[in-house]
Chains A and B, each alone.
Chain A
Amino acid sequence: MIGDLLIQGGQMLVVLALAPLVTGVVRKLKARLYRKRGASVIQPYRDLARLFRKEAVVAEGASWLFRAAPYLIFAMTWVAAALVPTFASGLLFSWSADLIAITALLGSARFFLALAGMDVGTPFGGLGSSREMMISSLAEPAMIMLVFCLALVAGSTQLSTVAEVMLSGVGLRVSLALALIGLMIVAVAENARIPVDNPSTHLELTMVHEAMVLEYSGRHLALIELSAQLKLLLYISLIACVFAPWGIAPVGAGLAHMPLGIAAYLGKLAIGAVLLAVFEASLAKMRVFRVPDFLGAALMLGLLGTLLLFVSRGL
């Protein structure tokens, strides 16, 4: 029990501590791919420290929602990130570490972010919120479909169980390959990366995520940035946990397993960051109205994967 509590606590701290680093590494890699030197990988930590020190300027006419939203968003994203097994699967909250719960937590966080974007009444906030809602209305069904596909293979939507089933060997399955591609598409869209959104743009008219948070400053902005970084880490961890669960300390494993688990986890994060950076550097952003096609592909992959599983097992 105490061991589980330690692991759970450690996991929560690890994701929080590593999230800015992953973003920093992705930025650094992208800069290197563009033949630039790039900022240090710890720059996101410095940015967060700077933002936390700064005064938060709140627009006139902003309601309580605008002030409360950053805390809500951060709390929900952090809890969601804490539910994904990273280096050990014996989490105290394991009973609740359900893929559907994670999807719901992220969905709620986004709901508040979109509301906050519209709260101040600037045109960019509304523009960003409407685009975000369009994207999420396509990404969430795709995500749920992919969850079903995984659940059919593993017999559970609990991530610890999924990871263990995967580790025990389910063989190569077409459905899993489809689910992996689908999940990557959803991850790109959910994290506002190229080609769906551009995290480093200065063009107000093209922004999605950035447009919603344009009015935020100081600690509010810091919390939102940290949430975005946590979300990126969450998706990389999720994909790693389901499709590459090697090295994760199994339930009931002693502390001796932990170093291996942590090393494996760091390795997976590094691979995820490299893949993301290369993917982003080689693409232009797509037109806003192409995004449905892109996410539609994820939905279809999820659906196909689920159907194939039914067909192969028989009803």
Chain B
Amino acid sequence: MYSTKYVKPNSTTEALEAIKSLSEGKFLAGGMTLIPTLKQRLASPDGLVDISGCKLDSIADEGETLKIGAMARHISVAESAVVKMAIPALAKLADGIGDRQVRNRGTLGGSVANNDPSACYPSAVLALKATVHTSNRSLAADDFFTGMFETALEEDEIIESISFLKPTKANYVKFPNPASRYAMVGVFVAQFGDEVRVAVTGAGEGGVFRHQEMESALSSNFSADSLSSVNIVSDGLISDLHASAEYRANLIKEMTKRAVA
């Protein structure tokens, strides 16, 4: 790892000041992606601003929505009675991320800000019509993810919390890479009355995306059968050593069927 400077402020205000004093500073949340990246010398920030002291880890049921702090660790979401009651699919998703040591450290905000194309959380944010509250604005999920590892976040902007809209019902099913447990394909399906949202992670070359055809098929008939006629095209899907684009296209339909079954 290149040499760098570490600071741990006690509030988001202080964190923002700290990042401004650096030329290429990075916010450090759980560090489950950032620390390995630094160790491989794939990034060389002149400073790390650890936001774990900024009190951003609360989990609260706010009626229509479930609000989770950016620093809530995966284990906290997975084990939270509030999350399990409000959106059990979200607790299930968190419980399936990485391994237990990753879940003990990794955070919601870190995962969403990084927008890894194979991360689980972005699909929940997109399917559950979430609002991402940052240090200076609130962004709708549909406007937040802008591409692989890309989001609408500015360099000096911190995610403080995310409000998930409570669905009528929801489920998340993934086909994990057996080694890393990242999603080779993960599908989050959320039903809000007559409206259904389907978000797919692990598959898109541009990162997480909604699948409009499956959404309309499921909106008219919420069943695995209604998906049979939907054609999942492999254009724009990831092909790598783990799976071809065609294989991922098949997995998208299969995971969605399992999610609604």
Partners in one complex: no
Q: Which residues of A contact B (CB under 8 A)?
A: none
Binding site for A on B (CB under 8 A): none
